[in-house]
Amino acid sequence: MKKTLTAVVLALTFGCALAHADGETLRVAADLGYPPFQYRDAAGTPTGFEIDVTNAICTEMKVKCEFVVSSFDAEIPSLIAKKVDFISPQGATEKRRKVIDFSDFVYHIPTRLVVAKGSPLLPTPESLQGKRIAVQQGSIQEMYANTFWQPKGVEVVAYADQDTIYQDLIAGRLDAALSPAVAVTFGFLNKPEGNNFTLTGPEVRDDKLFSIGSSYGLRKGDDHIKKLLNDGLAKIIADGTWEKIKTKYFGPLDISVHQEKAQ
């Protein structure tokens, strides 16, 4: 397997220090504009919950990983084009399973509507008719809003990253955003700039469009990488590493996937 990225469409590649320098090298697509899951620290190094979990899995399985920075909506095309070997966790939806495979579930995050405090808006097409609602490009939130809200008069606006959504919410250019609740809470609402915003209404979900959890994406039939990821994930869950990383970013919040709910 190649040890360097030859394509120029993906902007940056970061190496992560792993157990054996002579181990297999895997290229991992990552969107670093998605705190607290994936972002750059003050030194510009990839970090976040998903980055730390991936590093732990790679270390456990004695492989090297390179994080290849990409926009979220470019990750699946890059995977199919063999520019990366697997992609960071995303919802393992029925639609995505038609084109790529997935690892075991890594975590679950509910989808919620974020609005300004005091807003009467709710996550229904009737409430949102005529309003500008933000989603991230290529996300399950975009699929949901385009399927159920846009045909009923809701203006769905797709953004390349969550940070730009937050900026436009603050600037008043949006009425609301449909986003993963944990990302919004820890990446925006818990910060000073998010003080005037809140989550509203119940979890937004659909059994066909949504998945009960997020998983690593990999090419169809790539049983080798699937086994590496699944074995490594099982080990870091069993030895408490996954829980330790989760607590670092989310405290006691339960984001695990409960297998009795698995489809």
Amino acid at 120: P
The pLDDT of residue 259: 59
What whole-number distance in Å separates Cα of residue 21 and Cα of residue 32?
Answer: 25
Q: Token digits for 95?
A: 């639609």
pTM assigned to the model: 0.73
What whole-number distance in Å separates Cα of residue 227 and Cα of residue 221?
Answer: 11
Q: Tell me: the pLDDT tens digits for 41-89? A: 999 999 999 999 999 999 999 999 999 999 999 999 999 999 999 999 9
Mean pLDDT, range 246-251, rounded to an integer = 93
Mean pLDDT, range 128-148, rounded to an integer = 96
Nearest to 183 by CA among 167, 163, 201, 202: 163
Q: Is the pLDDT of residue 258 over 80?
A: no
18 pLDDT band (50/70/90 cuts)? very low
Strand duo 214-218 + 86-91: pairing? antiparallel
How distant is the alpha carbon of residue 194 from its chain centre?
Answer: 20
Q: Tell me: the pLDDT tens digits for 180-235? A: 999 899 889 999 999 999 999 999 989 788 888 999 999 999 999 999 999 999 99
Of 95 and 116, the one with more pLDDT: 116
Q: Are 56 and 245 in contact (CB under 8 A)?
A: yes
Cross-strand partners of 217: 87, 102
Question: In this structure, how many other beta carbons lie within 10 angstroms of the beta carbon of residue 26?
Answer: 22
| Mean per-residue pLDDT of the chain | 89
Helix (H) or strand (E) holding 241: helix 241-250
Q: Is the pLDDT of residue 128 over 70?
A: yes
Q: Is the pLDDT of residue 9 over 60?
A: no
